[in-house]
Structure 1
């Protein structure tokens, strides 16, 4: 049974956001650091919880091992179950899949894995898991709106990994906006929070997210 945290609008929600925490974090930290800075009253939030506090043990930029592949597959199954439950609880409502750091990486892997596609994706400080030489899924739905962010000052996701993710998203024909924030620490900036809020507002209004918030 999922231990996800459910917050925000109830049965009357006009959009849903599944927000995935990073390594060593919790849904409660996502609530404090991101949701508390949003003003989207018509949105229901589902915040999945990693059983051990992390979705896999390796760094995202480490070559994939059998152990990492196994942990990643289990975490993707858990995320898919939470996404499906969110869809079932709010039928017909658009869904934004979002994540920070390791949660952003897991969300990207979900999008590339051929799982049922969200209506939009926000990968805040994210990249693909593994290295370019690894065999990885590339089953991305063409036209998926994706907001990808990074920083040259981030200790976990190098600029090169951010850039490689942007290339793969482009090759998969995502409708991509990629923002690099020079000097930003390993955190979610006000501009990133504003973009997530704008994406959710667009979805709740019944339109396609424009990803038009200023940098």
Structure 2
């Protein structure tokens, strides 16, 4: 079993200029560079982009709905990498409401899990085909309050990796912790990101700071 070490690629203007960060988490088998390329389709000109790279190009070895212990220690160390990244950004004077999390597929699952375990007023969560992690969702792990954080979450119906039922459960938990969620379920959509999803994500990214 493997663990992760902090290996982050950054793009865009320096953080001291933008004071806004978008942390981007790639999917299984992908790379930090590949998720950063998604930024070309998003309104990220005023953001500094941070993309951690997973060891073996995978954040954890099994399905996100496998028993949690099967995905250890990879899962916990992946969450630690995100936590270190967020704390690094905050340490440079950036408030949580100016920090955004984005992920696709496995990356969206990881972003969902991290944000809900550490709920606070984030700038936004952009969860392209993902949901909370575990064979059963363990609500005891989820702390804090989202304080109106805007969330976009999606999946296909059916999706080969992320069932609609887990997205629905994730929405319920996030809304219960104060998030304002936009959920999209796309009938027959392949495991990809549609233009409509990018448009909805851009609505969150282009909001006035702290809105």
Per the normalisation by structure 2, the TM-score is 0.86
CA shift at 1:121, angstroms?
1.3
> Would the aligned equivalents of 2:25 and 2:102 in 1 still touch at CA under 8 Å?
yes
Choose 16-25 or 144-153, whichever is displaced more. 144-153
Look up the SS of the partner of 1:118 in the other structure. Answer: coil
Distance 1:36 1:167 in 2: 31
Q: Is 2:90 the counterpart of 1:51?
A: no
Q: Is 2:22 the counterpart of 1:17?
A: yes
> Would the aligned equivalents of 2:128 and 2:155 in 1 still touch at CA under 8 Å?
yes
Residues 125-136 of structure 1: pairs in structure 2 closer than 5 A = 125-132=129-136
CA shift at 1:159, angstroms?
1.3
Q: How many residues align?
A: 204
User: 5+ unaligned residues in a row in structure 2: which ranges?
Assistant: none
Per the normalisation by structure 1, the TM-score is 0.85
In structure 2, relative to structure 1, the CA distance for the partners of 1:89 and 1:52 (3 Å cut) is farther
In structure 2, relative to structure 1, the CA distance for the partners of 1:135 and 1:167 (3 Å cut) is closer
Q: Is 2:198 the counterpart of 1:197?
A: no
> Would the aligned equivalents of 1:43 and 1:200 in 2 still touch at CA under 8 Å?
no
Q: Is 2:71 the counterpart of 1:85?
A: no
CA shift at 1:90, angstroms?
5.5
Distance 1:131 1:2 in 2: 27
Distance 1:142 1:191 in 2: 25
- In the alignment, what sits opposite 2:78? 75
